[in-house]
Amino acid sequence: MAVLPGRGPVPASAVAGSAVEVLARCRELVRPGLVEAVGRLDPWTGEMAAYALGWRDTSGDPDPAASEGKGLRQALAVLSAEAVGADGKVAGPAAVAVELVHAFSLVHDDIMDGDPVRRRRAAVWRSYGVGPAVLAGDALHALAVRSLAETPGDRAPSAVRRLCLTLTLLVRGQADDLRFESLPWSGPTAVGPAGYRVMVEHKTGSLLGCAAALGAELGEAPAETVTALDRAGRHLGISFQIVDDLLGIWGDPQVTGKPVHSDLRQRKKTYPVLAALTGNGPAARELAVLLEGTEPLEGAAASRAALLVDEAGGRAAARAEAREQLNAARACLDGIRLDPVAVRELELLVGFLLDRTS
């Protein structure tokens, strides 16, 4: 990638020292806009939205023990605006929009998947009921579109169109993910790693790509730069989800907040498992028998399945694919003129995505 003219050498002190610092800086910039957006809701729906965002408990009181999530999408919007030479504040409406879309998708995902816990506390539907949680998700969705539609300037219409397209892709990805649950583990209709990548690009990658593209869009970047950042974000999203899949099997429960081998216990079609099943060795064959069985994958059975995924090469393949997707993200930006400080902060996030433990 090229450097924006007139910037010159970048002192090391100008770059945040860690991904955590970068995420915190972007969160601080975006937070007022998020608070303002949620404040437009009626009190009860606003309470549920604040709960979903990790700000409040079910009594409406501040909840310092709750997690607000990583804030990756809002950070991508801010850093992408800065990368094209704009003030990060111009990406505020975009950052608010993608963060609200992410929150809405999690609220609805938990309902569809029947997951009772989100970020170590009860999911919204468990705390308020399914109907109210659906409404809270709908409200977050509507706020996201409104936030972007009210953005001043002539880039707002194209930004809203991009967000709406992303919402369509996100729904398609979620639909495929749900459909995959009913497909067999082997045979002509089975899901393979390639089909999984397409699903994840839609379900996860599209919103990360949208975040990066919207930041550049509102920063008045050329169309080719906006497109390149969109593509890069999609690759980042695929990598992010594959690392999530690895943590869903081998992550530390004390860090991830999920039970050990949680994804295997649910027989989720994740990248490490699907990659392992492409092998022809004894480990892959035994794994297929375990997954196709009707007995619950608990305790020793889940531990055995995790070992077989590893022995069949699924763990190594997933790690390699995550790295390949990050390299593809970098390649998307080759030849694009970007601010070096923002690029280095983006690189910090890339390293964080690959090496994170939660």
- Would you say residue 217 has pLDDT above 60? yes
> Residue 59: what residue type?
S
The C-alpha atoms of residue 38 and residue 262 are separated, in whole angstroms, by 33
Rounded to the nearest angstrom, the gap between the alpha carbon of residue 269 and the centroid of all alpha carbons in its chain is 18
- pLDDT of 347 above 60: yes
pLDDT digits (tens, 9 = 90+) for 93-145: 999 999 999 999 999 999 999 999 999 899 999 999 999 999 999 999 999 99
Pairing of strands 337-338, 2-3: parallel
Rounded to the nearest 10°, the torsion over CA 164, 330, 226, 199 is -20
294 or 34: which leads in pLDDT: 34
Burial class (CB in 10 A: 0-12, 13-18, 19+), 126: middle
The reported pLDDT for the residue numbered 89 is 97
Query: 153 is written with which tokens?
Result: 């300037």
pLDDT, tens digit (0-9, with 9 covering 90-100), for 301-311: 999 999 999 99
* Dist CA 237 CA 214 (whole Å): 16
Asked if the model's pLDDT at residue 273 lies above 70, the reply is yes
Closest among 316, 321, 314, 324 to 275, alpha carbons compared = 314
φ and ψ of 170, to 5 deg: -60, -45
Rounded alpha-carbon distances, angstroms, from residue 47 to 54, 93, 102, 317? 11, 21, 17, 43
| Residue 213, token pair as written in the block | 């593209």
Q: Is the dihedral of CA 69, 346, 315, 356 positive or negative?
A: negative
Coil, helix or strand for 151?
coil
Q: What is the pLDDT of residue 172?
A: 98
**Which residues is 38 bridged to in the sheet?**
none
Q: Is 312 helix (H, G, I), strand (E, B) or coil?
A: coil
* DSSP annotation of 159: H
Residue with tokens 């601010």: 339
Asked if 151 and 98 touch (Cβ cutoff 8 Å), the reply is: no
CA atoms within 13 A on the CB side of 163: 32
Is the CB of residue 29 less than 8 Å from the CB of residue 82?
A: no
Q: How far is CA 172 from the centre of its chain?
A: 15
Give percent above pLDDT 90 in the chain. Answer: 83
Instruction: Please check whether residue 297 is in contact with residue 264, taking contact to mean a CB–CB distance below 8 angstroms.
Output: yes
What stretch of H or E contains 41?
Answer: none
pLDDT in tens, 159-200: 999 999 999 999 999 999 999 999 999 999 999 999 999 999
Q: Tell me the mean pLDDT in the region 196-214.
A: 98
Radius of gyration of the chain (CA): 21
Looking up tokens 């593809």 gives 328
Rounded Cα gap, residues 107 and 133, in angstroms: 7
